[in-house]
A and B are shown apart, each in its own frame.
Chain A
Amino acid sequence: MLAAYMFVSVLLFAIGATGAMIRRNFLIVLMSLELMINGAGMALIVMSYYIGNISGQVMFLFVAAVAASETAVGLAIVAMMYKNKKSVDINDFTTLRK
């Protein structure tokens, strides 16, 4: 059974990573990041249950907190991006290169 749970966790992470790399809408990128975090979180919980050690689950609470604050910051950035350029397409934001 462990393999199945881990497979789901890795799948979540992989979908998230792919989305973060290929999507152009910054909102979707943020969601993908969220998926990646949750994939990693799931691995923590599964492993914690499997080994019989509670610290993995405690760790997930922290990860969830970090994910929440990260999303808050990310959404604030999206809001500012839209305010400045009327767009949330990340390919419009290449000023770092210039």
Chain B
Amino acid sequence: MKTLVLLIIIWPLIGFIINGLFGKWTKNYAGVIAASALGLSFLSAVYPIWQVILGNIYDYVYFMWMPFGKFNIPFGLRIDSLSAVMLFVVTFVSWMIHIYSNGYMKGDPGYARYFTYLNLFVFSMLLLILGDNYLLMFVGWEGVGLCSYLLIGFWYDKKTASDAGEKAFVVNRIGDAGFIIGVLFILLNFHSVTYADVFPFVHQVLTPQTATIIGLALFLGAMGKSAQFPLYIWLTDAMEGPTPVSSLIHAATMVTAGVYMVARSNAIYDLSPIAMEVVASVGAFTAFYAATMALTHKDIKRILAYSTLSQLGYMFIGVGVGVYWAGIFHLMTHAFFKGLLFLGAGAVMHSMRGLLSTDLMGGLRKKMPQTAILMVIASLAIGGIPPFAGFFSKDAILAGALEMGHPIIWIVGEITAFMTAFYMFRFVFSVFYGEEKVPNLYHELHTHEAPKVMTIPMWVLGVLSIIGGWVGLHFSGEIPIEAFIARTAPTLEVAGEAHYSEALLMGISVCMGLLGIFTAWVIYIKKWITAQSVANTFKPIYTLLANTYYVDEFVYFFIVKPFWWVSEYFLWKIVDVKIIDAGVDLFGWISKRIGWLFRTLQTGFVSHYAYWVSIGVMLLTTWYLIRII
């Protein structure tokens, strides 16, 4: 069993090594190798997950990673109910997306390199979720960040792509600094970073103040990785990467690492109402804020990116109000349907030769019937329509928020749910329904349905987008997924928990979703109100949204520009040139002078050398004589 658990993370590592070292030879088989590595990883994970469902917890230490004498950091892997859910999502969705990538990346010159990065990503992600201490999680955390950077800038000869990669890396650094501070505080207080040494003793060791500091520092890390306001700016630019990457890393798995981390640290957050309030508020704000930006965008991938931000906001509402299971549950369903949405967008891009604007599409369902159906399924799931997966998880989060006494967050969440359904169906209607907007474009591009290697993984995710939420149904008095996750991350207990009629809450959620779809239908199918007239009526708001609140411009003028200014006029032209370079030059100058002094001794005339030798002998003799006298 110990070996089996290790094998889960070893398979992707083997794939990474094979493709990384021998990519020149594996060429067209790189995708097969990578996908089989992931398949094996998933198969190795099945049995441990099943055992965890039956009630076991695995915590194996393989070797002592950093023995410091007083405290030791082991290399250990832990599978409990929380990591089991993540393990299932990561291995399975990654596997599907690896298979899909075989079709999507076909013929790309960097085929083997792509799969190398992808396998390395999965390895790091598994390390992040299975590691049994914060430091191991941090290694995975940085590993996925690195892979994200590499894959966003995968087409590095494209300036925008390499810039986007850099942006992601730099913004994530800010969050990572917070994470490190949090981990150091834990180390300082507990003298250990292993979960088993930390969580059971939280009440004895931490005061609410220190818990707040740790919670906020860790949450800063989560904000960076999970792209919460204001550190979300990298995620939309990350869409420069290949679409399966956006699907796997920037929607399904990596960006949810922050949610996982907060849920993992539930014992610490439970102690600090302030930290939890911050998590929930930032989540709610991001959910709303990102959804508004998704309303006006025309680039299909950016719409999905903003939607991802918004859904991540929901997850943070879930973990922030204390219903950890709902956050993780939404993480899981989101991985299914958002993974599918991106794969669908990828299929559209694939057949449209990389075109992204909704203005160029329309009526695509005739050309790509399977993709169209799948996209409708995924949109219904994200829009929160029962019995699709998203409904259960989103409803669990919003109901949880209300019961935990956060009515404002609940209202924000419901409005966001309306917007979500609206923008998703705006997307679906304007891409797949209606008429062709540019005559003969499809004919010229030979637009066609995606190959089987791409549609099959999409169907698998499509089925999961339907049934994946059913674990959130009531079965004999309890919700299976709630009971399962609560073993590791128990729901926060609050005094005077409010109770609301479940049916009423569900009804409101469904109405919001349906209303959103109806609005989209009115505007984009029936055209009773045209999108243009709405835009004209709310001109200032529309401009603000279309320019994404000018946040990028704001960041550019108030953060990036001053940074450049300081770098150029102070760090470069003063510190570097006048101090560091001048200092180095000084040493060079000194050696040059000394060298000049000795160089003049070397005349090349033998008699001069003889002369120096005799002087040396005389000096030595004199010294010797002085010594003995």
- By the criterion CB–CB under 8 Å, are A94 and B607 in contact? no
Minimum CB–CB distance for B604 against chain A, Å:
3
- By the criterion CB–CB under 8 Å, are B610 and A94 in contact? no
Complex contacts, A24 vs chain B, CB 8 Å = 607
- By the criterion CB–CB under 8 Å, are A93 and B603 in contact? no
| Bound: A21/B605 CA distance, A | 10
Complex contacts, A2 vs chain B, CB 8 Å = none
Among candidates B602, B603, B606, B614, residue contacting A29 with C-beta atoms closer than 8 Å = B606
- Residues facing B in A11-39 (CB within 8 A) are 17, 20-24, 29
One digit per residue, 1 when the CB lies within 8 angstroms of any chain B CB and 0 when it does not, for chain A 71-98 equals 0000000000000000000110111111
Most buried by B among A17, A21, A22, A29: A21
Q: Does B611 contact A (CB under 8 A)?
A: yes
- By the criterion CB–CB under 8 Å, are B603 and A97 in contact? yes
Nearest residue, chain B, Cβ from A29? B606
Nearest residue, chain B, Cβ from A17? B614
**Chain A interface residue count, Cβ-Cβ cutoff 8 angstroms:** 15
- By the criterion CB–CB under 8 Å, are B604 and A94 in contact? yes
Complex contacts, B614 vs chain A, CB 8 Å = 17, 21
Nearest residue, chain B, Cβ from A95? B604
| Bound: A90/B610 CA distance, A | 12
- By the criterion CB–CB under 8 Å, are A21 and B610 in contact? yes
Nearest residue, chain B, Cβ from A96? B604
Complex contacts, A29 vs chain B, CB 8 Å = 606-607
One digit per residue, 1 when the CB lies within 8 angstroms of any chain A CB and 0 when it does not, for chain B 596-629 equals 0000001111110011001000000000000000
Given A17-B614, A21-B614, A93 and B606 contact (CB-CB distance below 8 Å): yes
Complex contacts, A98 vs chain B, CB 8 Å = 604
- By the criterion CB–CB under 8 Å, are A21 and B603 in contact? no
- By the criterion CB–CB under 8 Å, are B611 and A91 in contact? no
Minimum CB–CB distance for A37 against chain B, Å:
14
Given A17-B614, A21-B611, A21-B614, A97 and B604 contact (CB-CB distance below 8 Å): yes
**Chain B interface residue count, Cβ-Cβ cutoff 8 angstroms:** 9
- By the criterion CB–CB under 8 Å, are A90 and B611 in contact? no
Nearest residue, chain B, Cβ from A24? B607
Among candidates A22, A95, A97, residue contacting B607 with C-beta atoms closer than 8 Å = A22
Complex contacts, A90 vs chain B, CB 8 Å = 605-607
| Bound: A22/B614 CA distance, A | 13
| Bound: A29/B614 CA distance, A | 15
Complex contacts, B607 vs chain A, CB 8 Å = 20-24, 29, 90-91
| Bound: A17/B617 CA distance, A | 12
- By the criterion CB–CB under 8 Å, are B611 and A94 in contact? no
| Bound: A21/B606 CA distance, A | 8
- By the criterion CB–CB under 8 Å, are B602 and A97 in contact? yes
| Bound: A92/B173 CA distance, A | 67
Minimum CB–CB distance for B609 against chain A, Å:
9
Minimum CB–CB distance for B622 against chain A, Å:
16
Minimum CB–CB distance for A51 against chain B, Å:
18
Complex contacts, A97 vs chain B, CB 8 Å = 602-604
| Bound: A21/B617 CA distance, A | 14
One digit per residue, 1 when the CB lies within 8 angstroms of any chain A CB and 0 when it does not, for chain B 400-435 equals 000000000000000000000000000000000000
| Bound: A53/B265 CA distance, A | 92
One digit per residue, 1 when the CB lies within 8 angstroms of any chain A CB and 0 when it does not, for chain B 45-76 equals 00000000000000000000000000000000
| Bound: A97/B606 CA distance, A | 11
Complex contacts, A95 vs chain B, CB 8 Å = 604
| Bound: A93/B605 CA distance, A | 7
Minimum CB–CB distance for B610 against chain A, Å:
5
| Bound: A95/B606 CA distance, A | 11
Minimum CB–CB distance for B65 against chain A, Å:
57
Nearest residue, chain A, Cβ from B614? A17
Complex contacts, A17 vs chain B, CB 8 Å = 614
Minimum CB–CB distance for A86 against chain B, Å:
18
| Bound: A17/B603 CA distance, A | 20
Complex contacts, B610 vs chain A, CB 8 Å = 20-21
Minimum CB–CB distance for B548 against chain A, Å:
69
Complex contacts, B611 vs chain A, CB 8 Å = 21
Complex contacts, B603 vs chain A, CB 8 Å = 94, 97
- Residues facing A in B235-274 (CB within 8 A) are none
Complex contacts, A23 vs chain B, CB 8 Å = 607
15 inter-chain pairs at a CB distance below 8 angstroms, sorted by A residue, are A20-B607, A20-B610, A21-B610, A21-B611, A22-B607, A29-B606, A29-B607, A90-B605, A90-B606, A90-B607, A91-B605, A91-B607, A94-B605, A96-B604, A98-B604
Binding site for A on B (CB under 8 A): 602-607, 610-611, 614
Binding site for B on A (CB under 8 A): 17, 20-24, 29, 90-91, 93-98
The 9 A-B residue pairs with the shortest CB-CB distance in the complex, in nearest-first order: A97-B604, A94-B604, A90-B606, A21-B610, A96-B604, A21-B607, A21-B611, A20-B610, A97-B602
**Besides A17-B614, A20-B610, A98-B604, 13 other CB < 8 A contacts?**
A20-B607, A21-B607, A21-B610, A21-B611, A29-B607, A90-B606, A90-B607, A91-B605, A91-B607, A94-B604, A94-B605, A95-B604, A97-B603
